[in-house]
Amino acid sequence: MQATDLGVATPAPARALTRADYKTLGLAALGGALEFYDFIIFVFFAPAIGQLFFPPAIPDWLRQLQTFGIFAAGYLARPLGGIVMAHFGDLLGRKRMFTLSVLLMSLPTLMMGLLPTYATIGVLAPVLLLLFRVLQGAAVGGEVPGAWVFVSEHVPSRHIGYACGTLTSGLTAGILLGSLVAAAVNRHFVPAEISAYAWRLPFLLGGVFGLFSVWLRRWLHETPVFAEMKARKTLAAEIPLKAVLRDHGRAVIVSMLLTWMLSAAIVVVILMTPTLLQKQFHVDAATSLFANSVATLCLTAGCIVSGAMAGRIGARPTLIVGGLALAALYYAMFHQIGTDPSMLVPLYAVTGFFVGTIGAVPFVMVKAFPPVVRFSGISFSYNVAYAVFGGLTPIVVSLLMKSEPMAPAFYVAALCVVGAVTALFIKDAHTAR
């Protein structure tokens, strides 16, 4: 079965996933996990980075704001990298850009691990940190939409939901890997050792992971959909982004709004929450990171379930039910931790599973754009929305928390409602793939 523009299932030609399909899914998901680890490891060491890369005399709230600002810069850089890679991905091939993005990620990650601190080179330290973060953002801007397009064009149409969910699960597994590495560092090193040198280890590992990802992707093949378009000479006759903006406005708006919900779920619930738990509820770093690891593990499972459900019963009910459940659960977790911290792990675990609702979002976007402009359509919609919404989210939430301690929960709940309403306007492109 597959989803239609009405969000319900209709019969589709049956073809089971082959061994080659599973190999492609596995290699793409693993490579994406390693690259996404490089991108997000920064946030797990935000407290240490804030102490090391900014003047020691500034207020703690301002240091946190500046640190999350540099984190946000990676998201703000995503549109340029994503749009450029998508342009050539629609004209020259998916695989080339899918491989290039990994190489462009690994080098800045290595350099961040070797970067001198404020005490050594003064204001140049945060400037260089910002530069490397921007380069990371440009790389991941091509990686995420490219990965969704790549796997969806390799599998049978009725398995696109499962493929997108599995790939998204791989990307979120990169967050899990980052959480586990951060937890291990906090467990084996005291705070003084982390500040002195141990914070660098995850970044150096990330550089090695990135180079390994480049090697992995040499085994992948160009997608059958792109190969067929090239053979039939039906590739875009004009700049793909121009066609996207002229002919697919509805798909762009829907994709952007769903990306806003996705960004709130990932950035607030998964990436910011460990630091928020430490700052607001005085949960120790090891405990908050362990709970985050459990939640992210549940998130990886939730992405697969959500993607598969979107392919079987439709993206509309999957997003509405999952989004509203996430809103309620994250609010309940934030409210409960203030009075009973012992419930952190189970509440965070269930919340993490429903963050997996985002596994249905790439399925919607893949189906919303025709193959000839699919990479550009998804990349523009996703990266611009994530730059604006995901990039500014840490700053907005940090500022709101100065007057409202429950601001993270309210923000996530509001965006889940936006996602549920947007799901009512989902519509497929009129194309076989």
The token pair at 208 is 């090695």
- At residue 149's C-alpha, the angle toward residues 147 and 150, to 5°, is 60
Cα(226)–Cα(248) distance, integer angstroms: 20
Give me the CATH topology for the region 19-425: Growth Hormone; Chain: A; (1.20.1250)
Dihedral sign for Cα atoms in the order 105, 252, 30, 290: positive
Cα(178)–Cα(176) distance, integer angstroms: 5
Cα(292)–Cα(281) distance, integer angstroms: 15
Instruction: Return the pLDDT at 237.
Output: 63
Instruction: Return the pLDDT at 236.
Output: 66
Q: At what angle do helices 60-76 and 124-152 cross, to 10 degrees?
A: 40
Instruction: Return the pLDDT at 345.
Output: 93
Closest CA to 367 of 229, 163, 140, 83: 163
User: Is-contact 151 24, C-beta < 8 A?
Assistant: yes
Half-sphere exposure of 217 (CA within 13 A, CB side): 30
- Domain boundaries along the sequence of the chain: 19-425
- At residue 247's C-alpha, the angle toward residues 241 and 240, to 5°, is 20
Instruction: Return the pLDDT at 14.
Output: 56
pLDDT truncated to tens, each residue of the chain (433 aa)?
444 444 444 444 556 777 777 887 887 888 778 878 887 788 778 778 878 887 777 767 677 777 777 777 777 788 888 888 877 777 777 777 777 788 888 888 888 899 998 878 888 888 888 888 888 888 888 888 888 988 888 888 888 999 999 999 988 888 888 878 888 898 898 888 888 889 899 999 988 888 887 787 777 777 777 777 777 766 766 778 888 899 889 999 999 999 999 999 998 998 889 888 888 888 887 888 889 889 999 999 999 999 999 999 999 999 999 999 999 999 999 888 878 888 899 999 999 999 999 999 999 999 999 988 898 899 999 999 988 887 788 888 888 888 888 899 999 999 999 999 999 999 876 554 5
